Every structure is written in structure tokens, then in C-alpha cells.
């Protein structure tokens, strides 16, 4: 970016919109991946303890309005939401043990399918990069993979067992059918498919013994190339994982390619609930200390490789815990955040560090 100034550290995160409507804590956010281009205004989905999801859209005047409330499909907390890559379908995962699929029809969202199978709370849902698969995870310790069939039919093609406690979040690699799950059991697991046999297995477990987290792992995010990922935890740390030394092992049988790159600690003093990596390489984190932090890669390489530095910390970003931070995929200076205070905020990063060569 051109308006970037690392030397003066002249960056600020300004609140530009506050989206009010949910009547309980907001758990998660998802930007519609195709919005913000081709005539579709920037669009954001949020989901809440009020049992609804809301669709927010930027109006012609630049204001943000709630264009739809998705209700009556779930009878408990809606914990997570994810858009299909084409932006036409939204999946919502609920504590009611189901995942609902919503289709944008005209100006309305209709629930066109319900995925049932988990024994109890579904905590996260994610669409794969081609839009052919959905992953869900639950307090029942399992990860399910669903294949999309013609006519809005969804078939479970695999149930992945391996975590010993609740699975908190699932996320797909940005361009490969590699799935990562994080858990209350403190571990991160990497899953791939064996050939085309719907035979999914765990290729790598990143636990405390592999420089991993020492408490619940809440969230993960890949960088845009998919050669690094970042995770955050109840242990108050953020960890960056790298594949650069052995990328060919992405589909390995025994050992996955991921190794611990660095640990960012001392920035949040309560559980870190959300991390998200922007297209421009900036990591945002949101935590139970009500703060948002932004990090970027420091170019002064240490002997053991790259490290990450704090760009800024926004104290009191919300009145209560920050549960989700998500960068706009089209406009990488815009960040959305969701909180226990019931609001969603949009932030603008007004100057970002340039890549010092």
C-alpha cells in the first residue's frame, strides 16, 4: 500500500461504523467474499446469542444497514457463520446441534437445508475454497465433512475423530482441500483426504509438546498464500506456524509440514478469541481484554527467521470481550469486530507499515 509509514509508526485504527441490532452477544462475523465488486455492495454476516444471524450491507450513501434478520431456523445460540465462495449461500452453525444453509433469494434469505448429525453444540462451520465441501465441528469432539449435492442436498462424507475435547473452530486452507481444526484439548490438527476416497485422516497434530498452546485454542487463520497460519488461545498467546521449509509435505502421510515459527505473548492479558490474517499480511487479534491488536511481519530477520511486531493495540475497542475480528477481503484496510457488548464495529486502518526491504 502506498499510504504506509513504518518509520513513524503512524498507524491508527478508527471506528467508522457501529452496527446495532443484535440483542445478545455477537459471536462471529463473515464477509461475503464476492461483495464489494460487480455491483454488490460490501456485505457482512453476524451471528449471535439472540439465536439469529444478521446481514449488514453498505448503502449508497455509505451508511450501513441491516438488510435481513435470519431467524426461526435455530432455537439456540448461532455460534458461527460462513459464506460459500460464490457468496450465494450462508451456513450458520448453532448450539442446537444443527447447521442451516441459507440462500439469497431476491431480497430475502431462505433456509434451504439443515445439516443434522452432531450430538450437541456445533461451534464452527467453514466452506472449502471450491465450494464443494463444508466442514463443521462440535462439542461432541468430532469434525464432519459434508459434500454439496445438486438440489441443495448435503451428504456427510466423513466424520473425523481425533480431538479429545470440544472442537472450537475449523478452517480450510485457502487453495487446497486441507482442513485445520483447533480444540479445547489445546491442540491443532491438520486433516487431508487420501486420494479421492472420502478417506480423511489427520496428518499432523500441533500440541504443547510441538511448541503449541497450553490451553484452549480458539481460532486460526491462514495467510493469503496458505504457507503460514496463525492461532490464538486461552493461554493468552498468538502463534504463527510455517510450512516454508517443507511445503511438499502438505499431503504427507505421517508428518505434516507445519512448524512453529514464533509466539506473540504479552499483548493481551485475557483469552485471545479471534485472529485473522489480512490479504496484505496484517494479523488482527481480538480478546477478552476488550482490545484489538494488529501485527505485521518484521523485516529485520532474526537468526531464526521472521518475527512479528505489534503495529498498534486498540484498548477498549468494545465495552466487553471481542469475539471475532475479520478483515474485509476486498478492502484490506477495513476490519470488522464483534463483541459480547452486542455490537459489530467497522474500523479503518489509516496507515499501515510498508514492507521495508
Q: Are 150 and 179 in contact (CB under 8 A)?
A: no
Residue 215 found at the interface with another protein (CB under 8 A):
yes
Nearest distance from residue 95's CB to another protein, in Å?
5
139 binds another protein (CB under 8 A): yes
Nearest distance from residue 237's CB to another protein, in Å? 16
Q: Please give the Cα distance from 350 to 286 (Å, whole number).
A: 19
User: From the CB of residue 189, how many other CB atoms can be counted at a distance below 10 Å?
Assistant: 24
User: Cell 460487480 identifies what position?
Assistant: 38
Residue 58 vs 234, nearer CB to another protein: 234
Q: Out of 22, 104, 123, 268, which residue is the one contacting another protein (CB under 8 A)?
A: 123
Q: Which residue has the cell 509466539?
A: 263
In the set 64, 109, 184, 258, which binds another protein (CB under 8 A)? 184
Among 95, 109, 144, 308, binds another protein (CB under 8 A): 95
Find the part of the chain contacting another protein (CB under 8 A) among 72-80, 126-134, 150-158, 252-260: 72-80
Q: Is 76 in the site for another protein (CB under 8 A)?
A: yes
Check binding of 257 to another protein (CB under 8 A): no
Binding to another protein by residue 140, rule CB under 8 A? no
Judged by CB, which is closer to another protein: 213, or 296? 213
Task: Measure Cα distances from 345 to 68, 146, 221, 312, 317 in Å.
Answer: 18, 32, 20, 17, 9
Residue 6 or 167 with smaller CB distance to another protein: 167
Half-sphere exposure of 315 (CA within 13 A, CB side): 1
**CA-CA distance, 119 to 141, in Å (whole number)?**
9
Task: In angstroms, give the least distance from the CB of 316 to another protein.
Answer: 9
Nearer to another protein, 77 or 231 (CB): 77
Nearest CA-CA partner of 296 in 240, 218, 216, 232: 240
Rounded to 5°, the CA angle 134-136-139 comes to 175
- Write the CB contacts of 274 (distance below 8 Å, at least 6 apart in sequence): 218, 219, 232, 284, 285, 286, 287, 322, 323, 324, 325, 326
Q: How far is the CB of 52 from another protein (least distance, A)?
A: 14
The reply to whether 270 sits near another protein by the rule CB under 8 A is: yes
Decide if residue 49 touches another protein (CB under 8 A). Answer: yes
Order of strands across the sheet that contains 283-287? 272-277, 283-287, 292-302, 305-314
> Is residue 20 at the binding interface for another protein, with CB under 8 A as the rule?
no
Number of residues that bind another protein (CB under 8 A): 24
Question: Rule CB under 8 A: which residues touch another protein?
Answer: 25, 49, 76-77, 79, 95, 120-121, 123, 139, 166, 168, 184, 215-216, 234, 270, 288, 290, 319-321, 340-341
Amino acid at each position: 500500500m502506498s499510504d504506509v509509514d513504518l518509520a513513524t509508526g503512524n498507524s491508527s485504527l478508527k471506528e467508522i461504523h457501529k452496527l446495532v441490532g443484535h440483542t445478545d452477544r455477537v459471536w462471529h462475523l463473515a464477509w461475503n467474499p464476492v461483495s464489494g465488486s460487480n455491483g454488490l455492495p460490501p456485505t457482512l454476516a453476524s451471528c449471535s446469542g439472540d439465536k439469529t444471524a444478521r446481514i449488514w450491507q453498505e448503502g449508497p450513501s455509505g451508511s450501513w444497514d441491516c438488510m435481513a434478520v435470519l431467524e426461526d431456523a435455530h432455537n439456540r445460540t448461532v455460534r458461527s457463520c460462513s459464506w460459500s465462495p460464490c457468496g450465494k449461500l450462508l451456513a450458520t452453525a448453532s448450539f442446537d446441534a444443527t447447521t442451516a444453509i441459507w440462500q439469497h433469494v431476491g431480497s430475502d434469505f431462505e433456509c434451504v437445508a439443515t445439516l443434522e448429525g452432531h450430538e450437541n453444540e456445533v461451534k464452527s462451520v467453514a466452506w472449502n475454497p471450491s465450494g464443494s465441501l463444508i466442514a463443521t465441528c462440535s462439542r461432541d469432539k468430532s469434525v464432519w465433512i459434508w459434500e454439496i449435492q445438486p438440489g441443495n442436498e448435503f451428504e456427510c462424507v466423513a466424520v473425523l475423530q481425533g480431538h479429545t475435547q470440544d472442537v472450537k473452530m475449523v478452517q480450510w486452507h485457502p487453495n487446497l482441500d486441507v482442513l485445520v481444526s483447533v480444540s479445547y484439548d489445546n491442540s491443532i490438527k491438520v486433516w487431508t483426504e487420501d486420494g479421492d476416497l472420502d478417506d480423511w485422516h489427520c496428518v499432523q497434530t500441533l500440541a504443547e509438546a510441538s511448541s503449541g498452546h497450553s490451553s484452549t485454542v480458539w481460532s486460526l487463520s491462514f495467510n493469503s498464500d496458505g504457507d503460514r497460519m496463525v492461532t490464538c488461545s486461552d493461554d493468552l498467546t498468538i502463534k504463527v506456524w510455517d510450512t516454508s521449509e517443507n511445503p511438499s509435505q502438505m499431503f504427507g502421510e505421517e508428518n505434516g509440514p507445519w512448524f512453529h515459527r514464533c509466539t506473540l505473548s504479552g499483548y493481551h492479558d485475557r483469552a485471545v478469541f479471534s485472529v485473522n490474517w489480512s490479504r496484505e499480511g496484517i494479523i488482527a487479534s481480538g480478546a477478552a481484554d476488550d482490545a484489538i491488536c494488529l501485527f505485521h511481519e518484521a523485516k529485520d530477520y532474526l537468526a531464526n527467521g521472521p518475527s512479528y511486531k505489534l503495529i498498534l493495540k486498540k484498548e477498549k475497542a468494545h465495552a466487553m470481550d471481542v469475539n471475532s475480528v475479520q478483515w474485509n477481503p476486498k478492502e484490506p484496510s477495513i476490519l470488522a469486530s464483534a463483541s459480547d457488548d452486542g455490537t459489530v464495529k467497522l474500523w479503518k486502518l489509516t496507515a499501515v507499515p510498508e514492507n521495508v526491504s
